[in-house]
Structure 1
C-alpha cells in the first residue's frame, strides 16, 4: 500500500512539474522534475535493506546482525517489529527496544517453544535491552499493542571462531493484539 501511494504521488508530481517546466522553463520546476524522478527510481530500485526484512507473520530467518545497524524487521504496518541486535558472545546476543516500532522487549526463560506462550503480556518489559541465549525466547510488544515472539535458534560470532556474524531466529506475530501463541 505504501509503495502504491509513493508511486502515485511521484507520477502526479512528475506530470505536474513537467507541465510547469514546459510552460515556464526555470530552476524550480526543473528541481521538482528531478525530485519526482528520484521518487519513482527509489520505488523500483533494488533495496539493500530488503534482505533485512521479512513481511510474513511467521518464519525462520538468518541474517548478519553486524550489518544494517543490527536492524531486522519482521511484519509490516501495524504488525511491524523492528528488531535491533548487537554482539554479546558466541551463545548470547543483545536485543533492544530502541526502534520506534518497539514498545517493549521481554525475556522468557524455561519455555522451549513459541507455541507454549499462552499470555505474552505477562512478561517483564521494563528494561531497554535483554540478552537471550541460544534456545531462549523473546516477547516483543510494538507501538500498536501487537505481540511477536522470537526464538533465538543459532548465534554465530566472527570474533569467537565463526566465519561470520549471523543470527538465526524463528518468529510468530500475533495479529489483532492477541496474547496467546498456543
Structure 2
C-alpha cells in the first residue's frame, strides 16, 4: 500500500490552489470596492438630503422676501427685492424676513460655498449686529454648483424658490468620485 502522493497529484493540487487563491482575493477586492462606493453614495445622499431639508424648512418657515444685491454693494433694503412682480424670474443673493417692521428687512440669510467647499448658511440679525454661521455639510463631501433662483407666475401666488447644488464625495481617486445633483423647489409664505 502506498503512503505518498504521486508527482502528478501534487502538481494538480498546487495548480488548483494556485487558481483558486487569486480568484478568491479578486472577488474579495471587488466586494470591498463596491462596499466603499456604497458607503460614499450613502454619505452624499445623507448630506444632500440634510442640506436640502434644512434650506427648504428655513425658507418656508422663516423667510418672506427675496433680494439681489448688486455686485460690490453691501446695501440691504427693500428696493432690491426680486420676484415681486408677475412672471418674473431672477437669481437670488439673500432672503429676508419682516421682523424689522413695515417694509423693513429684519433678519437676512444667505447661502454660499466656503473655501473648503462646504455649504454655509449665514444669518444676519436685525441691524446687522451679529451673524450666525451654520456649516451645512461635513468635510467628507464637497459642494459645488450652488444656484438659488426664484420665479413668480401669477399676481396672487407667492414666489417659488429653486435651490440646486451638487454633492461630491471627497476622495483622492478620480475613478471613485461619486456625485449627486440636488434640486428642490419651495414656495415662500405670505409676506404678512
TM over 0.5: no
TM-score normalized with structure 1 length: 0.28
TM-score normalized with structure 2 length: 0.27
Pair member with larger Rg: 2
